Amino acid sequence: MSKIENKDENGSMDGAGDGTAGGPKDDKGLGLGIIFFLVAFLICFLSGWLLFPKLLYSKKEQPFNFDHVLHSEEVGDCESCHYLREDGTFSGMPKLESCMECHTDEPMGETEDEAIFAEEYVAKEKEVPWFVYSKQPDCVFFSHGAHINAAGMDCKSCHGPIEESVASRPYEENRITGYSRDIWGKSIWGIKKHSWDRMKMDDCAKCHKQETGHQGYCFQCHK
Amino acid sequence: MIHDKKAHKFGMVIDLDKCTGCGSCMVSCMSENNVPFKEDESRKKDSITWMRVYKLTNGKSFPDTEVVYMPRPCQHCGGKGDHGHSPCVSVCPATATEYGHDTGIVSQIYTRCFGCRYCMGACPYHARYFNWWDPEWPEGMENYLSPNVSPRMRGVVEKCSFCYHRYQAAKDKAYYEERETIEENEYQTACATACPAGAITFGDLNNPSHKVHQIVKPDPHPDPMNKDVVGKSRNPKIFRLLERLGTNPKVYYLSEREWVRKAGDNYLDGEWDKVKNHHGSSSHE
Amino acid sequence: MDSALIPEGAKRCSFPKFTIGIAIVGAVVLWGVYAMFLCWFKGLNQTNMNDYYGFALWIWADLAVIAVGGGAFFTGLLRYIFNVDELKNIINFAVIIGFICYSSALLILAIDIGQPLRGWFIFWHANVHSMLTEVAFCLSCYFAVLTIEFIPNILENRQANKVPFFHHLAHNMHGVMAVFAATGAFLSFFHQGSLGGVAGVMFGRPFAVREGLLIWPWTFFLFTWSAAAFGPSFTLLVTRITEAVTGKKLVKDNVIHLLAKISGWMITTYIIAKIIDTIYWTYVTIPSLGFKISHFYTNNSFYGYWILITEIIVCGLVPGLLLINKSTRENPNTRLLAIVLGVIGVCLNRWVMVLQIMAVPVMSFDTWALYIPSWQEMATSILPIAYGVILISLAYRYLPVFPQELELNQPKADQ
Amino acid sequence: MKVDRRSFLGLGLGAVAGVAVSPVGMKLTDDSSIWTQNWPWTPVPVDGEVTYDSSVCSLCPGNCGISVRKIDGRPVKIEGLDGYPINNGGACLHGIAGLQYLYDPTRVKTPLRKNGDKFEKISWKEAISLVSGKLAEIRKSGSPEKLACITDKTQGSVSQLFNHFLTAFGSSNYFDMPSLESFLELTAQTLHGKGKTLGFDLENSDFVLSFGAGLIEGWGSPVNCFKANASRKERHAKLFQIEPRLSNTAANADKWIPINPGTEADLALGICAVMLKKNLFKAGKFKGSFNKFVAMVQKEYSVTKVAETTGIKANEIEKIATLFAKAKMPVAIPGKGRGNGGQSLKEFAAIHTLNCLAGSLNKKGGAFVMAMNEYLSFPKAIMDEVAEKGAGKTKIANSVNELVEKLNGSSKPIVDALFVYNANPCYSLHDPKRVKQAFQKIPFVVSFSSFLDETAMEADVILPSNTFLERIEDMPSQAGLARNVIGLTRPVMDPVFDTRNPGDALISLAHGLEGTIAESFEWESYEECLESVTADVWDSLSEEGYVLVSQGPPKGNPIVDFTYLSANPSTIQAQGDLELMLIPIDNMRLTGTAPMASPFAIKTVSDKVLTGTDIVVEINPMTAKGLKDKGYATLTTPVGSAKVKINFNEGIMPGVLGMVKGLGHTCDNKFVSNKGVNVNDLIGPVIESGSGLDAAFGIRAKISKA
């Protein structure tokens, strides 16, 4: 016991200082000091790492589950629902109208999700209030045309393998900024493994630098 | 990407003899760019009008008085020698305003700006405006706001963007139709399209096929009298505001009246008569 | 009741008296703080600034306090680098004054920007071409340095000093202070300069624009020089005021005279440079842009030639000569006159380099723009002064600011 | 073991260190700034699919084609419609700001009933039965002619539907507001006979002699005039502007000829005299004592006399006459300002006579004598004996102004009920006080206004109309245009509020009244009505959005009747005998009539016109003795007085005061109202004998330091 404490004492600048200054000779106090330090450090560090994100983001369930796999089997690739309009703008989330090219208020399958869709939205002709994971703030102008047509990129490089999703994960919203968590990325440290793990400006700039040799002018992506 | 093929240099020429001071350009700009309004807009020093129409008089007394109206958007200066160091761009501490070398357009990013207002001090044209108040619309009126230009929050600077979003739209269409370039008429600013007198001509100063180039005939060589000045018009009837400062605006003005052209800049006594007929050398036609 | 904290042997007024004094000034502080919060929560519409007057009273206050705060770095430079030893007797105070000035400057900047929560963009998204970026970096770094320079003095407080750790810390810090002084001097040179650059680079504003050396317009060097010149004057002024208030002699005359002399020479040389600059600007710079000097000093209800004469002659040349000349320098009254004029002069210079620039029309059809600050602006500008008074009183009461105080205030029977 | 100071030190330091190395700091700093970038109180416009609707603007008689940009059906921008025969592209600021009218704070959101001095909301059902009930009583009383109606114009199916209603009801008391259209019609009638109106071929004329017509201040069809004016440069055409003040038109003209206010008629006749004397005129089908006219002008309007009255040098007058007569395609334009204020028939006739003498009638670049638009075919109104009886009675008055006089004149109510549609007489007529008085004498006023303006305030019931963006309506061109276009205003969105097309309101009223009136309105809806009454043009109208009825000079050389002028009607004199003359100014950025200007339009108004809530009056420094520029002054006329600010203006004749029209509204819209004063409050009507027009071009005034 005391051995450890001695070690502590010698190991510690404070201790040394104390010694010379002839401060209180109570080693326990000093040991406690360090223990308190470590405990406090761990608690705060861990809560900052693990608890903080829980508080920062609010979880929101989508109106109902959407099965991308099923739909892409039925209607083909992404463009059949998320297409470019003739003026070059991007249609984004399909409107009820385009869903109803196939769907009626009579469900075609057995899933309860489709039932919800049929009753709550098709029958009532209400647009589905989807939460958009990749929603960018109002100050951002993003041209899908430039990336898909001109640069020939695929959806995955930014949106990830979403076509493989059979159910909709909950949407996480930053309580302070109102941003989708996907912008900052799942990792609170902002670490990314895949190109689609984070959608902050620097990520756009990085890719632009690589692909075009220029990180891009502000107005290219801001309005 | 399209703009990398060849650098554009968007600019405009305004025929002051045609301008009637009707104000269409101002309102078209405000409505296109979600510019807010407040109860008292008669205090012009805190009234946001990206496009402002000045009223100039020749200072003569009745009945020899003459009046001309001068619309003043952001001049999108190229800075000394037209290298892109505009008065405002070079001073912004946070890179919230930037010179687009691909378009010659000076951007303003409201979400980056933190409101130090240095750029406003640096701009001699008063083309930059600060949001002293939070924008507020009467109940329901926010329904007419356009999604192409994001509304500004209190505490940031804003200014004319040459309707950059219209350039974006034109490019988007071009991408869709897999075209390399956009047509002259595909990208026109809101003021130019609105002007009932057709006084505003907008286009690419670098593109000889564009009207604005043909009217202005910009001289690509530095002015022998002032090396900072580049792109002087070869048309003696065309001038730029405060050209001598070397800000190199991309907005040109056209007038048959000498006093108007003189009012465009500052001259020492007798100096005007020496320089009035000096213009971009025609040798480089 | 707080006697335990008061430096050994030093005489201070009674605690209640002190508290009342602080309370009065504190009221002013609160007023300023109230105004500050108004600006933060309601926005800058609380001010009388407008699109013509984007830079106004606050920026002037900033430039002014930083200019007069220049005493800190310059005295530090002389004391630690050039080893002008006498100055150790006033360096503490110079540092405190500097600390006050710079902390105020930072505070005012924090109020002045439209989006305080984005203030850090200036560091994160810095634009290296902007003089303001240079200001921001040097300013905050130098403030850190000042804090470090201030700490030892705080640790010398009777109680703090009892803690061995603090005791040693203070001691060791004094040892390495030369390093910080050097850093401080270097940083100050740049941010004082870049503050001048702020105006000088505005080539759209003929009243402000100056040619220069490399990327630095002449105003860059003029500002540094004037800060070094008038800063010490301000230090002397505040010392004088403190002496008057406390009714004690705090710094020996030879020290005062020395600093006054240095200040005097700096002022004189500065003003010569300033005159040359003005002449060059008048006869070369502005004519090439189509302006006559009369354009900037006539046809308006406030800015006349008087401002030029007052700044350069009355508040520049005069104090300079008064401080060079031995007799006038050593005569307390003429010296006081000189340093007061000097301080006014440098503040006036900063005023001109901010507010007159904004007021002058550039487009031939534009008009002069004059503005009167709102009470919120004034309150927030007075705030630093009140805060300074409090800090100085505290420092004087509890810290051994003036090494010579005890020696100079020996209780002598025959006096 | 003992927990001492150091333990707490450790605790504190540990906590600080722990937080410091965790992501919290970095994240919160970033998020707090992002929060300021997305403040919840800053609106975020919703994005969506872009579509364009084309329609016709009906804010003014200009009737420009407009293109409305919409995002997912939500209108976000109005622009001029390319290829539209009137404006081809450009648009004026009021049209572009049109979307603001949709959400204007003064919009009437539901039908309202006056209760005491407040309005209370009622349903359409209640409103209709309330109004038709009142109307039924009037008919029971056996004097249906006591129902009167005021609209902005006589043209178009909605106006004519009101007329149709009155006819079926049994009243002939249908009035339209004074407008350029009505003046031109009257002029044409006086000189060329009934059923005609005038058009001016500005875009082809090589010499435009404008007697104060604000060709770029909103005269006629504004955008069309702007374009014609702008094209002058290429066409090398000349514009001479004759008016007391350097208006924008004058400033833009080749020559500005200052003239004593109100003497334009004299100048015109003086020029006639010169042309006749020097035999510079081209003979035409001159009827009705042409010789008498010649003798009269030679005698009464000799150059010297005219020079005297107008203040224009004699040789100057002769020069103008020669230039005008010798020009290839000269045209003289009447109608000071926008041509809708106080105007006199004598002036219009005299000026148009110049066109007749110069041989410009029905010639390219000249003045066109055009048939009135007759594309509407309303079924004959079915009238019961009550109606017949009422129709037999003579019309109460010849003009709105006369109506107002009559109402104020008589002690017992001569009008029991009044319809007001698309007009704001309580603001835009001279001396609105007397108009309000007259309105108070009418037991039952029904307003069809979209906005709670000064006149709607006086109403007992308001049946709110859709704005031009929410409704369908035919828009016949007028306003002195040289071509005849019928445009179709189409709804670009569903009504924002519980408002209706005035036509629909009328139809339900008629149905409410039953009997012959209901029979006269057998349509289910206004749209059905429109389709049937425009039957011959409906197909192309609904497909193209407009019908170009006629273009270019009409056939034939019309007769010119000099009877009216040869009698030398007396020239109007301004009211009062004070030393100065106050004249109203038409400013393109403001509107003098309904609807009032939008917030955007007001924002563009110069601080030399409006500062804070003070109106600024133009005065020549020479006249402004004892006054300071930008200083306050009190302006007094025989009719009223107002506190104003002074603006020294070298561009206005000495002795003349200029005050802008369109300010001083009193409705509940802080962006537009309670700014400055309404110039009409300072000017009283001066009725011209014979025409019955209010011809007050200004009023005598004095001004003194306040």
Could you read off the pLDDT of D485-541 as tens digits, one per residue?
999 999 999 999 999 999 999 999 999 998 999 999 999 999 999 999 999 899 999
> What pLDDT does A23 receive?
42
3-class SS of residue D619? strand
3-class SS of residue D221? coil
A65 lies in the same domain as A85: yes
pTM to 2 decimals? 0.94
Interface test with D, best of B16, B30, B31, B46 (most D CBs within 10 A): B31
- Which chains have 3+ CB pairs within 8 A of D? A, B, C
* Domain B10-284: which CATH number of 3.40.50.800, 3.90.79.10, 3.90.1150.10, 3.30.70.20: 3.30.70.20
* Domain D112-175+383-474+494-544: which CATH number of 3.30.460.10, 3.40.50.720, 3.40.50.740, 3.20.20.70: 3.40.50.740
Beta-carbon separation of C130 and B93 below 8 A: yes
- Count of alpha carbons within 13 angstroms of residue A92, beta-carbon side: 18
> What pLDDT does C186 receive?
86
Longest dimension (CA), chain D: 131
Lowest mean pLDDT, pick from C125-129, D3-7, D381-385, D431-435? D3-7
| B133 touches C at CB < 8 Å | yes
Integer CA distances (angstroms), A167 to A63, A110, A114, A196, in order: 12, 15, 12, 19
Beta-carbon separation of B266 and C118 below 8 A: no
- Which chains have 3+ CB pairs within 8 A of B? A, C, D
Interface test with D, best of C40, C52, C117 (most D CBs within 10 A): C117
Judge whether D135 and D141 are in contact, CB under 8 Å: no
Residue D80 has pLDDT above 60, yes or no: yes
Residue with tokens 């624009």: C209
3-class SS of residue D647? strand
Which bin fits D335, alpha (ψ -120 to 50), beta or left (φ > 0)? Answer: left
Task: Name, in order, each residue with C-beta under 8 angstroms of B21's C-beta and a sequence gap of 6 or more.
Answer: B53, B55, B69, D216, D248, D588
> What pLDDT does B279 receive?
63
Distance from CA of D29 to the nearest CA of C (A): 8
Judge whether D440 and D458 are in contact, CB under 8 Å: yes
3-class SS of residue D550? strand
pLDDT band at residue D2 using 50, 70 and 90 as cut-offs: low
Residue B94 has pLDDT above 90, yes or no: yes
Distance from CA of C235 to the nearest CA of A (A): 38
Interface test with B, best of A89, A147, A218 (most B CBs within 10 A): A218
Sign of the dihedral defined by the CA atoms of residues D208, D211, D215, D219, in that order: negative
A53 lies in the same domain as A157: no
Q: How far apart are the first and last CA of chain A?
A: 66
A75 lies in the same domain as A34: no
Which residues does chain D have within 8 Å of residue B200's beta carbon, measured at their own beta carbons?
Answer: none
Beta-carbon separation of D650 and B57 below 8 A: yes
∠ CA D381-D396-D522, nearest 5°, is: 15
Q: What is the mean pLDDT of chain C?
A: 92
A202 lies in the same domain as A217: yes
Give residue-wise pLDDT tens across range B157-184.
999 999 999 999 999 999 999 998 999 9
Integer CA distances (angstroms), A211 to A82, A207, C313, D645, in order: 24, 6, 61, 62
Sign of the dihedral defined by the CA atoms of residues A175, A181, A187, A192, in that order: negative
Q: What residues 244-273 of chain B have any CB closer than 8 A to a CB of chain C? A: 244-247, 262-268, 271
Which tokens sit at D192?
Answer: 């060329």
The residues spanned by each domain of chain B are 10-284
Which among A26, A36, A87 has CB closest to D14? A36
Residue B283 has pLDDT above 50, yes or no: no
Higher local confidence (pLDDT), B150 or D478:
B150
Q: Which domain holds residue A35?
A: 23-59
Higher local confidence (pLDDT), C1 or C167:
C167
Which among B17, B65, B196 has CB closest to D92? B196
Residue D73 has pLDDT above 70, yes or no: yes
* CB–CB contacts below 8 A, B to C: 167
∠ CA B221-B222-B227, nearest 5°, is: 165
Give residue-wise pLDDT tens across range D183-241.
999 999 999 999 899 999 999 999 999 999 999 999 999 999 999 999 998 999 999 99
Which among B105, B148, B177 has CB closest to A219? B105
> What pLDDT does A7 receive?
38
3-class SS of residue C154? helix
How far is B36 from B131, CA to CA, in rounded Å? 9
Judge whether D427 and D78 are in contact, CB under 8 Å: no
Domain count, chain C: 1
> What pLDDT does D541 receive?
95
Q: Which domain holds residue C398?
A: 15-403
Lowest mean pLDDT, pick from A25-34, C382-391, D636-645? A25-34
A55 lies in the same domain as A135: no
* CB–CB contacts below 8 A, B to D: 200
Residue with tokens 């405060």: B242
Q: Give the residue ranges of DSSP H helices in D278-378.
A: 290-300, 303-310, 314-326, 345-357
Tell me the mean pLDDT in the region D444-448. Answer: 98
Give residue-wise pLDDT tens across range D116-169.
989 999 999 999 999 999 999 999 999 999 999 999 999 999 999 999 999 999
Give residue-wise pLDDT tens across range D618-631.
999 999 889 999 99
The residue among A34, A59, A84 that closes a domain is A59
Distance from CA of A200 to the nearest CA of C (A): 15
Domain count, chain A: 2
Distance from CA of D53 to the nearest CA of A (A): 16
> What pLDDT does C1 receive?
67
Q: What is the mean pLDDT of chain D?
A: 95
| A88 touches D at CB < 8 Å | no
3-class SS of residue D325? helix
Which among D39, D602, D612 has CB closest to B153? D39
How far is B133 from B152, CA to CA, in rounded Å? 10
How far is A123 from D594, CA to CA, in rounded Å? 45
> What pLDDT does A34 receive?
84
Residue B272 has pLDDT above 70, yes or no: yes
Which among B54, B85, B244 has CB closest to C289? B244
Beta-carbon separation of B144 and D46 below 8 A: no
> What pLDDT does A9 receive?
38
Distance from CA of A211 to the nearest CA of B (A): 10
Residue C414, in any domain of the structure: no
Beta-carbon separation of D227 and B197 below 8 A: yes
Sign of the dihedral defined by the CA atoms of residues C312, C315, C321, C324, in that order: negative
Comparing C-alpha atoms, which of D193, D71, C165, A55 is closest to residue B165? D71
Residue B63 has pLDDT above 80, yes or no: yes
Residue C176, in any domain of the structure: yes
Q: How many CB atoms lie within 10 A of CB C414?
A: 3
Distance from CA of B14 to the nearest CA of D (A): 13
Residue A116, in any domain of the structure: no
Give residue-wise pLDDT tens across range C175-216.
788 888 888 888 888 889 999 999 999 999 999 999 988 888
Beta-carbon separation of C50 and B263 below 8 A: no
Residue D270 has pLDDT above 80, yes or no: yes
Chain A residues near any Cβ of chain C (below 8 Å)? 17, 20-21, 23
Which residues does chain D have within 8 Å of residue A30's beta carbon, measured at their own beta carbons?
Answer: 6
Comparing C-alpha atoms, which of D171, D135, D142 is closest to residue D386? D142
Read off the CATH number of the domain in which C166 is found: 1.20.1630.10
Instruction: Give CATH for domain D202-365.
Output: 3.40.228.10
Q: How many CB atoms lie within 10 A of CB D385?
A: 10
Judge whether B62 and D651 are in contact, CB under 8 Å: yes
A43 lies in the same domain as A139: no
Beta-carbon separation of A87 and B107 below 8 A: no
Distance from CA of A11 to the nearest CA of B (A): 46
Which residues does chain A have within 8 Å of residue D31's beta carbon, measured at their own beta carbons?
Answer: 56, 174, 176-177
Strand-pairing partners, residue D121, are D112
Beta-carbon separation of D29 and C120 below 8 A: yes
Judge whether B182 and B188 are in contact, CB under 8 Å: no
Which chain D residue's Cα is nearest to C117? D33
Beta-carbon separation of A217 and B168 below 8 A: no
Residue A17 has pLDDT above 70, yes or no: no
> What pLDDT does D411 receive?
87
Judge whether C256 and C371 are in contact, CB under 8 Å: no
How far is C154 from C156, CA to CA, in rounded Å? 5
Which residues does chain A have within 8 Å of residue C168's beta carbon, measured at their own beta carbons?
Answer: 17
Which residues does chain A have within 8 Å of residue B112's beta carbon, measured at their own beta carbons?
Answer: 218, 222
Lowest mean pLDDT, pick from A63-72, B130-139, C69-78, D74-83? C69-78
Q: How many CB atoms lie within 10 A of CB A212?
A: 14
pLDDT band at residue B5 using 50, 70 and 90 as cut-offs: low
> What pLDDT does D299 receive?
95
- Which chains have 3+ CB pairs within 8 A of C? A, B, D
Q: Give the residue ranges of DSSP H helices in C43-130.
A: 57-68, 70-76, 88-112, 121-124
Comparing C-alpha atoms, which of B3, B1, B2, B7 is closest to residue B207? B7
Which residues does chain B have within 8 Å of residue D611's beta carbon, measured at their own beta carbons?
Answer: 42
A157 lies in the same domain as A184: yes
Give residue-wise pLDDT tens across range C75-119.
888 888 888 888 888 999 999 999 999 999 999 999 999 999 999
A181 lies in the same domain as A86: yes
Mention the CATH class of domain D580-705.
mainly beta
